[in-house]
């Protein structure tokens, strides 16, 4: 792809995603240098690479992943697959079962323990071992209905992947020290998890199955939010956009059937929802910047700064 074609692709994506024209500067300053570093890593390792993109809710990780995928695929000619850790959430029925067995708070998607990590591992394995012409179904989760999308709605990736982009709010998260679990970080933990059963189970998941999943990453990118207050503001905005999108979407066959099953949250519900994420998010904000391979500070206005690369050690 020529530079003119690259610019056309970027302009098309900006328009498609409803982004301001200034996002072109973000692509030039932040995303293209990141794409070049991923290509360098691919060449250095001589094999397909797994890239993790971490960012609290609303940091723009999904948008960054979309642009990276298109640029790596079409400008650099590297077959690039992507999925979100959000897309491997347990089904609602599975979370209901977990809530009954462990703790009622597990009915709410989000925290470690509410993902089907084995499904994520399976998708990665299929993408890495696929032969030309093989097709890998990539899971999708319907957040408006709070359940996994039917399999026939999953997108399909054809052939083997040279780059796999995995994005998610808790991607790469590390467990906390046991003593940190004793103190509640908000009213939800204090009132609904007074004996620390829920948060201890979350922490154990980060030590076990999630650790095995995250250890597969070759490269960890962190979009660092300025504060938890910004995360709440951004997540509330996301829910407003989700509600508007479904309100304006044409009804199939002119019917309102299915509308009652949409799970759009009020601002108060979003605030409670975010409390589920607070502990892990704040721990990541404290400790992940020191170990991420790339740190991208995010401004309160959603702007992304230039990437700060941590140079690999001689033994890497």
- What are 149-158's contacts with CB under 8 Å, separation 24+? 157/81, 157/127, 157/130, 158/133, 158/134
Residues 293-313: pLDDT tens digits?
999 999 988 899 999 998 766
Q: Give the chain's mean pLDDT.
A: 91
Does residue 37 fall inside a structural domain? no
Q: Within a domain: residue 114?
A: yes
pLDDT beyond 60 at 200: yes
Q: Is residue 198 part of a domain?
A: yes
DSSP secondary structure of 223-256: EE-S-HHHHHHHHHHHHHHHHHHHHHSPPGGG--
Is position 18 within any domain? no
- Contact between 140 and 153 under an 8 Å Cβ cutoff? The reply is yes
pLDDT (tens digit, 9 = 90+) per residue, 215-260? 999 999 999 999 999 999 988 887 888 788 777 766 544 444 444 4
Which pLDDT score is estimated for 302? 85
More confident residue, 207 or 234: 207
Q: Look at the chain and report how many structural domains it folds into.
A: 1
Nearest Cα residue to 136 out of 172, 166, 160: 160
Q: By residue range, what is the domain housing residue 123?
A: 45-247+260-300
Confidence of residue 77 (pLDDT cuts 50, 70, 90): very high
Assess if residue 23 is contained within a domain.
Answer: no
The pLDDT of residue 244 is 81
Q: Please answer whether residues 51 and 162 qualify as being in contact, where contact means their C-beta atoms are separated by less than 8 angstroms.
A: no
Collect all residues with Cβ–Cβ distance below 8 Å to 264 and sequence separation of at least 6: 144, 239, 242, 243, 246
Specify the pLDDT at position 5. Answer: 83
Helices of type H across the chain: 3-16, 23-26, 32-45, 61-70, 92-101, 117-129, 187-192, 197-207, 209-214, 228-248, 267-287
pLDDT tens digits for 147-195? 999 999 999 999 999 999 999 999 999 999 999 999 999 999 999 999 9
Which CATH number does the domain housing residue 286 bear? 3.40.50.300
Please tell me the predicted confidence (pLDDT) of residue 262: 60
The mean pLDDT value for 21-27 works out to 93
- Residue 308: inside a domain, yes or no? no
User: Does 133 score more than 90 pLDDT?
Assistant: yes
Residue 4 lies in a domain: no
Q: What is the pLDDT of residue 1?
A: 60
Mind listing the pLDDT tens digit for each residue in 35-70? 999 999 999 999 999 999 999 988 999 999 999 999
Q: pLDDT category, 31, cuts 50, 70, 90?
A: very high
252, part of any domain: no
């Amino acid at each position: 792809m020529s530079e003119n074609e690259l610019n056309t692709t970027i302009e098309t994506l900006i328009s498609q995603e409803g982004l301001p024209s200034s996002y072109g500067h973000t692509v030039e300053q932040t995303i293209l240098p990141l794409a070049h570093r991923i290509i360098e890593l691919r060449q250095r390792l001589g094999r397909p690479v797994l890239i993790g993109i971490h960012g609290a809710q609303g940091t723009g990780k999904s948008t960054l992943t979309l642009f990276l995928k298109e640029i790596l695929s079409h400008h650099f000619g590297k077959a690039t697959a992507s999925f979100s850790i959000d897309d491997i959430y347990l089904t609602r029925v599975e979370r209901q079962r977990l809530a009954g067995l462990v703790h009622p708070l597990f009915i709410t998607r989000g925290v470690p323990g509410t993902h089907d990590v084995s499904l994520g591992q399976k998708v990665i394995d299929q993408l890495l071992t696929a032969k030309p012409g093989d097709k890998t179904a990539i899971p999708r989760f319907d957040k408006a209905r709070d359940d996994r999308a039917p399999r026939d709605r999953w997108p399909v990736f054809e052939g083997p992947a040279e780059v796999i982009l995995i994005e998610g709010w808790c991607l790469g998260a590390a467990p906390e020290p046991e003593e940190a679990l004793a103190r509640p970080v908000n009213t939800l933990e204090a009132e609904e998890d007074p004996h620390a059963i829920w948060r201890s189970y979350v922490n154990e998941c980060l030590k076990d199955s999630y650790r095995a999943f995250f250890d597969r990453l070759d490269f960890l990118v962190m979009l660092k939010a300025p504060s938890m207050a910004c995360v709440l503001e951004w997540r509330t905005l996301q829910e407003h956009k989700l509600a508007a999108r479904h309100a304006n979407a044409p009804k199939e066959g002119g019917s309102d059937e299915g509308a009652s099953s949409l799970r759009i949250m009020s601002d108060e519900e979003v605030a409670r929802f975010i409390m589920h994420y607070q502990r892990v998010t704040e721990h990541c904000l404290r400790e992940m910047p020191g170990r991420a391979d790339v740190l991208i500070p995010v401004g309160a206005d959603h702007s992304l700064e230039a990437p700060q690369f941590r140079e690999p050690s001689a033994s890497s």
